[in-house]
């Protein structure tokens, strides 16, 4: 890539990285919860957390042909998941009933919001038309959870519970695109669009909105 362009993009990429870290940790926790429900062993817990955390971003990188993958570039992410697995697995066996359901829904919503916008931002930088970029945002946001459910041998929740999950992601990506067109700075657009998805998802879950 043109070095000048790289320099211009550096702050955006730093932002995307910060957002990704939040999303990785949140997604890993939703993976821990699901894996424990299915009584997996340590390797299973790690794998499910890994897949939930990195599945969406890896598919995005594959589709955009970006190498190295974001978790190869930032392999501290992998170590974080590894350490969390070792710390969290025994804790979960004890805590089980103490961790309320909303904590996991929140972790999952944060993962959804931040991955979606990180995915869309990178797709826009790769000069994709906005509808494809939004689609890649949604894929990045939901694919980790889909992969988690496929591995756990369930029909992915996102495809059948009728809750606005992928839709929340899509609307947030649209909002991001509008904010950029309106000339708002990247950082504002990134954080507020990601936050918008998290809030929309949480409200939809609390209010029990259904699409069906």
| Cα distance between residue 151 and residue 14, in whole Å | 32
Does 80 engage in binding with its own copies (CB under 8 A)? no
| Cα distance between residue 55 and residue 145, in whole Å | 8
Does 75 engage in binding with its own copies (CB under 8 A)? yes
Provide the minimum distance between the beta carbon of 166 and its own copies in the complex, in angstroms, as a whole number.
4
Does 47 engage in binding with its own copies (CB under 8 A)? yes
Does 153 engage in binding with its own copies (CB under 8 A)? yes
Does 155 engage in binding with its own copies (CB under 8 A)? yes
Secondary structure E strands in 25-84: none
Does 41 engage in binding with its own copies (CB under 8 A)? yes
Which of 87/155 has CB closer to its own copies?
155
Among 42, 83, 91, 188, binds its own copies (CB under 8 A): 42
Does 91 engage in binding with its own copies (CB under 8 A)? no
Within 10 A of 111 (CB to CB), how many other CB atoms are there? 28
Provide the minimum distance between the beta carbon of 181 and its own copies in the complex, in angstroms, as a whole number.
18
**Smallest Cα–Cα separation from 54: which of 138, 124, 126, 148?**
148
- CA distances from residue 179 to 6, 49, 89, 175, 186 in whole angstroms, order as listed: 22, 33, 41, 6, 9
**Smallest Cα–Cα separation from 143: which of 161, 116, 170, 105?**
116
Give the binding site for its own copies (CB under 8 A): 38-44, 47-48, 62-63, 65, 67, 69, 72, 75, 78-79, 128-129, 131-132, 135, 146, 150-156, 158-162, 165-167, 211-212
């Amino acid at each position: 890539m043109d070095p000048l362009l790289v320099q211009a993009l550096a702050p955006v990429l730093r932002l995307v990285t910060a957002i990704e870290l939040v999303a990785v940790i949140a997604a890993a926790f939703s993976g821990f919860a699901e894996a424990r429900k299915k009584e997996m062993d340590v390797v299973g817990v790690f794998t499910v957390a890994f897949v939930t955390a990195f599945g969406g971003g890896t598919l995005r990188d594959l589709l955009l042909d970006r190498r190295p993958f974001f978790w190869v570039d930032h392999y501290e992410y992998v170590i974080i998941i590894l350490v969390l697995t070792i710390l969290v697995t025994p804790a979960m066996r004890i805590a089980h009933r103490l961790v309320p359901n909303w904590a996991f829904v929140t972790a999952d919503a944060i993962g959804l919001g931040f991955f979606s916008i990180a995915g869309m931002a990178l797709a826009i930088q790769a000069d994709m038309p906005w509808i494809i970029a939004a689609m890649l945002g949604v894929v990045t946001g939901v694919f980790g959870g889909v992969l988690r459910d496929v591995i756990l041998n369930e029909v992915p929740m996102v495809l059948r519970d009728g809750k606005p999950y992928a839709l929340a992601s899509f609307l947030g990506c649209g909002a991001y695109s509008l904010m950029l067109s309106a000339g708002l700075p990247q950082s504002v657009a990134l954080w507020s669009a990601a936050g918008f998805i998290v809030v929309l998802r949480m409200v939809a879950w609390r209010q029990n909105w259904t699409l069906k």
